Amino acid sequence: MSAIVHLFALLAGALEPLFATFATAAAIVVATVCVRALLHPLARAGARAEKARARLAPQTAELRRRHGADPERLRRALLELHAREGVSPAAGCLPMLAQLPVFFVMYRLFTAERVGGEPNGLLEDRLGAAPLGGVYADALADGGVFGPQGLVYLGLFAVIAAVAAWTYRRARTAALRAETPGAPGLARVLPLLSFGTLATAAFVPLAAGLYLATTTAWTAAERALLHRDRGRGADGEG
């Protein structure tokens, strides 16, 4: 962990001439973008799998019509169809799962009071008036919702909420069309998970919330680019 803190401090130092007191916050954004760029091949694989599931939608609908009264037989038939066509139901989840270790590292970086026996200097860095190691409850206790710290969090929440709403509108129809085999209600739930990020950001350190805002914005832009050939009709929304 001390090595990661050192690397992070080096990145923040390199960015300081451009971002001054916002250098550590900028380092979080840059590090997040680098991680997502490395994970882009997984996102491309997920997009190919999603398009394949959309292509198989007529066959999926026919199987549901024939085996709707027998859920177990329907589940097996759907799995056989996807296996025959080389479509993985889990492919679209791989980028999200691969990010979890990064999120936990970010959380640990800005919650550990001491690293390698030394005080964690990252906890003193700030985004505006709010310390990157603080949480929303601290902001509410120090000035309230519209206090100096509270306004920083409101800006963060606004970004996450805007991205979540845009993602939800684009994802809902596509998810319903390419529903995961064996989980009939999953397609209705998955688009709502984008709003779960907003709730999470209210309870984790500001640094982790900034990571969430950056990675969800990347995901939204990445999906728009990878699915641009499907047009308005495929995603349900523009």
Q: Per-residue pLDDT tens for 139-188?
A: 999 999 999 999 999 999 999 999 998 888 877 766 555 454 444 444 55
Query: Which ranges of 130-178 does DSSP label H, i.e. alpha helix?
Result: 136-141, 148-177
Note the pLDDT of residue 45: 79
CA angle centred on 20, ends 11 and 152, rounded to 5°: 100
Give the burial class of 125: count Cβ atoms within 10 A of its Cβ; 0-12 exposed, 13-18 middle, 19 or more buried.
Answer: buried
Task: Indicate the DSSP class of residue 179.
Answer: P
CA angle centred on 136, ends 207 and 193, rounded to 5°: 75
Note the pLDDT of residue 188: 57
Residue type, 109: L
Bridge partners, 116 (sequence order)? none
Q: How many independent structural domains does the chain possess?
A: 1
In the predicted model, residues of the chain with pLDDT beneath 50 are 178, 180-186, 231-238
Note the pLDDT of residue 95: 67
Count the residues in the chain. 238
Note the pLDDT of residue 3: 78
Give the domain extent around 30: 2-235
Note the pLDDT of residue 235: 41
Note the pLDDT of residue 237: 41
Query: Which residues are CB-contacts of 41 (< 8 A; sequence separation ≥ 6)?
Result: none
User: How many CA atoms, within 13 angstroms, populate the side-chain half-sphere of residue 179?
Assistant: 19
